Amino acid sequence: MSSCDGRVVVITGAGGGIGRDEALLFAQEGARVVVNDVNAAGAEAVVEEVRALGGEAVASTDDISDWDGAGRLIGTALDTFGGLDTLVNNAGILRDRMFVNMSVDDWDAVMKVHLRGTFCATKHAVSYWRDQSKAGDQRVARIVNTSSPSGIYGNVGQANYGAAKAGLAAFTQILGEELWRYGVLSNAIAPSALTSMTEGLTGYKERLDELEARTGWKNPGGPEHIVALVVWLGSPLAQVNGRVFDVRAGHVDVAEGWRPGPAYTKEGGFTVAELDDVLPGLIARAAPQVNAAGEPKSYGG
């Protein structure tokens, strides 16, 4: 048996990039796939690719940031394949600007797709899973959200995108705490891959070109290197819950998030002078903020 035999999987933003490769690998692992993308041509093309592999797929062009559209998406899985087992929240957009040049429209567009869209699709899916659980037919359900190194480590020029992706990391953890009782496990990936969405990021393609030239590894930024983790997390094999995983070609790690560090405790409140005396020492003892490579970040000075 393959890891996802008979499972029904909904993937948002699957008309290209990482979502396309997720759809193809899920199908190869035995899943029936709903390929969602507002780009109808992209969604239909991926459906045809899945069918050419001998798999089952159907396209959805619903806008997941629209409440009713997200409901129709989940309804497509239920009506076409009779159920839902895994939701992969992959859809996303970029509106990169240095913060001083960022408009409120740049901010709202990113929040609408990443946060509202993920909420709407997930809410409809969870309502179905909760009803199934209460009816005594609990499914082995999985949610795989898509965060980003920008969200958990930060990236210049992506205040909107990073804030949204940090929100999705927290969303993932909270769902993990709330939904296990219904048979639902929630995890997220923070992927690094070269797609149509990321190819314009400053220096990213150049770093990949250098890696390819140095190692001879063809297409090290390809999204195909990301998706095995997503399929594993979306399958019954994964028993982990509430975690975020960094993943790129040839690398996966369990990201370790915010946790209490060096502390000073006393009875009663603080004064400004007291904090001025105590905090520099605590900060000096704290682990440094790092980038996705684990290297300390510079905040000027």
- Which amino acids are annotated catalytic? 148, 161, 165
Contact call for residues 145 and 255 (beta carbons, < 8 A): no
- Those residues whose C-beta lies under 8 Å from the C-beta of residue 150, and which sit 6 or more positions away, are 158, 161, 162, 165
Q: How many C-beta atoms surround the C-beta of residue 66 within 10 A?
A: 15
List own/partner pairs for 254-257 with CB under 8 A and 24 or more apart: 255/152, 255/169, 255/190, 257/152, 257/169, 257/173
The conformation of residue 249, written as its DSSP 8-state character, comes to T
**Strand pairing category for 32-36 and 8-11:** parallel
**DSSP structure string for 172-203:** HHHHHHHHGGGTEEEEEEEE----TTTTTSTT
The conformation of residue 297, written as its DSSP 8-state character, comes to P
Q: How many C-beta atoms surround the C-beta of residue 79 within 10 A?
A: 10
CA diameter of the chain:
70
- Per the DSSP assignment, residues forming a β-bridge with 265 are none
E-state strands within 1-107: 8-11, 32-36, 56-60, 86-89
Cα 144 to Cα 27, 100, 193, 213: the distances in Å are 16, 33, 17, 33
